[in-house]
């Protein structure tokens, strides 16, 4: 007989709505798993068991109301929740407890969700791995010697280990897709402007946005719908196209033109080597899409000059943090390096990088325009051991991140939607993922395509921790 965490998030919601289980029963189930397993996984920076049970008990006394009514989730530790420590993965904020709740958390509360605590993130969400000075690393539930990726590493690890049914996350250069692909779950990065409270439109280059992580495409689409509907757009036009995206997941596309590329915009700047299993996953996904009746063709794409514009914008974004010289001595070396490098940039360098980013966005959208979606690897390398990323030599550590995940950040620069999902398993049994990139506002298209792929692939295996 399946346990509660074996059910999809949508099935859990149906059981809650039908009265087969209560919010209190479901919350207690996940809290018990967290207490038993998270010491090994490192998915949570803070567990708020008492508050979660009180919230679940309150919901249980009322009729179901809201798209997430009674469903557990976890806030990423970059998101403020009143009365709960919010550390941003940094010892600078070890004792910070905010007075107000951020929109990213409030919209899930308003949809009836139950926060179980804070999921782990690297310092200020700046890296593609989740190892900090203030807590244990987030680990890949498939192999606990390996990291879970970042910056939403705790969120992805929690979903993959069955500690949460789904989790909100954020993505400024791959921070949803990198960890989701690392641990073999589904992650969606929105189009720039899609989610009102994290549209990307108020940051340099428009990079950071919000999105979901879940075990299935439909579950991820459900959470994306909640994030999109949670707030009106106060100053920006919403991305074109629309949901509900959970309906797109339930109606796979009959025909689409798919472009395929293993080219990354970092190829002319770093030593990018595609792992054979990552290449095989792309080949398998392409064959499955062709078998489903889609048009699948190579994409001739040769981007140039990307590395300089992205590293400039990344450093510029870090330089906006108001850290004193004394505080820079306390943060991670890569944080200090990015901030100090960013503060050396001239106004002309910043403006040139932003102009180059706009040109890259136009050129990429033009190159991708003949296709409804573009298929790429999700990662270039398999999951790496804890400690593999050099945390002392910041420049080397940055290069390692590029070599690990060269297919992620350019999607943020172009403002496009993207989705990662597992399609194969490697010889060890670990899932291997691919990425589908959509047109501007094309979430529904890639969600529908991914749902069709998911059906063709069938149920993926679960890590040994799943049954513990």
Active-site residue set? 76, 151, 175
Residue 93: cis peptide before it, omega within 30 degrees of 0:
no
B/e letters for 10-35, b = 16+ CB within 10 Å, e = fewer, are: bbbbebbeeeebbbbebbbbbbebbe
Query: Do 46 and 118 form a contact (C-beta atoms < 8 A)?
Result: yes
357 three-state secondary structure: helix
* H runs (alpha helix) in 122-168: 153-160
87 Cβ contact list (under 8 Å, min separation 6) = 45, 46, 77, 93, 94, 96, 118, 134
Q: Tell me how far apart the alpha carbons of residues 105 and 79 are, in angstroms, rounded to a whole number.
A: 7
The half-sphere exposure of 54 on its side-chain side, counting CA atoms within 13 A, is 4
Rounded to 10°, the helix 306-319/347-368 angle is 130
Phi, psi of 226 (to 5 degrees): -65, -45
Rounded to 10°, the helix 217-229/443-457 angle is 160
Rounded to 10°, the helix 394-404/333-343 angle is 100
392 three-state secondary structure: coil
| CB-based burial label for 229 (10 Å; 0-12, 13-18, 19+) | middle
Q: Tell me how far apart the alpha carbons of residues 153 and 132 are, in angstroms, rounded to a whole number.
A: 11
Query: Do 383 and 429 form a contact (C-beta atoms < 8 A)?
Result: no
First to last CA, the chain: 14
Residue among 401, 403, 420 nearest 411 (CA) = 420
439 three-state secondary structure: coil
Tell me whether strands 373-377 and 295-298 are parallel, antiparallel or unpaired.
Answer: unpaired
113 Cβ contact list (under 8 Å, min separation 6) = 66, 68, 69, 71, 72, 73, 226
315-323 contact pairs (CB < 8 A, 24+): 315/341, 315/342, 315/345, 316/204, 316/342, 316/345, 316/350, 316/353, 317/172, 317/203, 317/204, 317/205, 317/207, 317/342, 318/124, 318/126, 318/342, 319/343, 319/345, 320/204, 321/124, 323/92
117 three-state secondary structure: strand
């Amino acid at each position: 007989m399946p346990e509660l965490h074996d059910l999809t998030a949508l099935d859990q919601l149906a059981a809650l709505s039908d009265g087969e289980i209560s919010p209190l029963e479901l919350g207690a189930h996940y809290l018990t798993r967290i207490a038993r397993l998270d010491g090994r996984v490192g998915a949570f920076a803070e567990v708020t068991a008492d508050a979660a049970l009180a919230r679940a008990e309150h919901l249980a006394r009322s009729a179901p109301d809201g798209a997430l009514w009674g469903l557990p989730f976890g806030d990423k530790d970059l998101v403020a929740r009143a009365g709960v420590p919010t550390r941003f993965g940094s010892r600078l904020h070890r004792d910070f407890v905010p007075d107000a709740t951020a929109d990213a958390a409030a919209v899930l509360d308003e949809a009836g969700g139950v926060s179980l605590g804070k999921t782990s993130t690297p310092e200020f969400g700046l890296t593609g791995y989740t190892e900090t000075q203030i807590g244990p690393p987030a680990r890949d539930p498939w192999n606990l010697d390996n990291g879970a990726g970042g910056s939403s590493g705790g969120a992805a690890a929690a979903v993959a280990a069955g500690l949460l049914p789904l989790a909100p996350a954020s993505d400024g250069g791959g921070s949803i897709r990198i960890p989701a692909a690392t641990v073999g779950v589904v992650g969606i990065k929105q189009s720039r402007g899609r989610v009102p409270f994290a549209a990307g439109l108020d940051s340099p280059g428009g990079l950071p946005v919000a999105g979901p992580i879940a075990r299935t495409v439909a579950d991820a689409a459900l959470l994306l719908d909640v994030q999109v509907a949670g707030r009106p757009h106060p100053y920006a036009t919403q991305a074109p196209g629309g949901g509900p995206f959970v309906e797109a997941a339930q109606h796979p596309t009959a025909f689409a033109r798919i472009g395929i590329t293993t080219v990354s915009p970092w190829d002319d700047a770093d030593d990018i080597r595609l792992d054979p299993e990552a290449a095989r996953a792309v080949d398998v996904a392409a064959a499955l899409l062709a078998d489903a009746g889609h048009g699948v063709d190579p994409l001739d794409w040769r981007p140039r000059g990307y590395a300089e514009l992205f590293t400039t914008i990344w450093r510029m974004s870090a330089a906006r943090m108001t850290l004193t010289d004394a505080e820079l001595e306390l943060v991670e070396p890569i944080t200090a390096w990015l901030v100090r490098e960013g503060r050396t940039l001239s106004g002309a360098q910043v403006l040139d990088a932003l102009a180059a980013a706009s040109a890259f966005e136009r050129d990429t959208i033009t190159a991708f325009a003949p296709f409804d979606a573009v298929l790429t690897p999700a990662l270039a390398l398999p999951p790496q051991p804890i400690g593999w990323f050099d945390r002392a030599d910041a420049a080397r550590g940055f290069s390692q991140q590029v070599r690990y995940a060269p297919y992620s950040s350019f999607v943020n620069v172009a403002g496009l939607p993207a989705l990662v999902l597992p399609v194969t398993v490697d010889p060890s049994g670990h899932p291997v993922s691919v990425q589908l990139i959509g047109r501007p506002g094309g979430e529904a298209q890639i969600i529908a395509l991914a749902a069709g792929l998911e059906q063709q692939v069938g149920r993926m295996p679960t890590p040994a921790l799943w049954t513990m």
